[in-house]
Amino acid sequence: MKYPKRSQYKYAKSQYRVRNWPEYEAGLKKRGDLTVWLSDDALDAWRVPAEGKPGGQRTYSDVAIEAALTVLST
């Protein structure tokens, strides 16, 4: 089996070397950081009071659904 020459690759891989590891790792940690602020009213109304039998499906309030959709859309 013949391998293609480097010039035949559609996308040539560029070489990247990390020179400052502490800064690189701090950037990776910061990249996944997300802070969400919710009001006390939203936290109190997060779950609808339980109704029916135990073990039933969870029901969330409209406030909780709107908050989740807001985070997902940004």
Q: For residue 60, what are the β-bridge partners?
A: 47
Predicted local distance difference test score (pLDDT) of residue 37: 81
* Tokens describing residue 53: 């039998």
CA atoms within 13 Å, Cβ hemisphere of 20 = 5
Q: Give just the sign of the alpha carbon dihedral 23, 24, 25, 28.
A: positive
Phi first, then psi: what are they for 19, rounded to 5°?
-105, -25
pLDDT tens-digit map of 20-32: 999 988 888 888 7
Query: How much is the average pLDDT of 52-62?
Result: 75
Output the pTM of the full model.
Answer: 0.41
Predicted local distance difference test score (pLDDT) of residue 10: 67
Predicted local distance difference test score (pLDDT) of residue 22: 92
| Structure confidence at residue 12 as a pLDDT band (50, 70, 90) | low
